[in-house]
Amino acid sequence: MASSRKLTAVEADTDGSPTFEERVVKVRGVEYRLRELSSEEYDKLYKQSEINDDLDAQLLLKLMLAKSLVEPALTGDQIAKLPFRVVRELSRECNELHFGDEKEDEDPKDA
């Protein structure tokens, strides 16, 4: 499945708050915008994904996708009705956004 993506960083607030990364992913002609979750949001979703003290990783990723997807904003039920391959691609991007290696900023002298 062909998809394309653009990466941007959300601008820092004037108070110096950290930036959150965003991704725009185009799948089957539809653009989806995902944003990085805060650690507080992630912790809450992690707790919701625990069943009998075991983590349900699939549930965690589904909850993360629903929370990260800001455009179009979709509920978990709406995401579940999308074609599987679309959800798989969005899940892959969400996973990469949150668990991929953090890229160090390049030193301008090295560019």
Domain boundaries of the chain, sorted by first residue: 3-9+19-99
- Name which of 9, 38, 24, 30 is nearest 78 in CA terms: 30
pLDDT reading at 32 higher than 60: yes
Number of other CB atoms surrounding residue 7 within 10 Å: 11
- This prediction has a pTM of 0.73
Q: What is the mean pLDDT of residues 61-86?
A: 93
* Residue 30, φ and ψ in degrees, nearest 5: -110, 130
Per-residue DSSP letter, 8: E
Q: Which CATH number fits domain 3-9+19-99: 1.10.10.10, 3.30.200.20, 3.30.2220.30, 2.40.240.10?
A: 3.30.2220.30
pLDDT reading at 6 higher than 90: no
Query: Quick one: what percent of the chain has pLDDT higher than 90?
Result: 59
pLDDT reading at 4 higher than 80: no
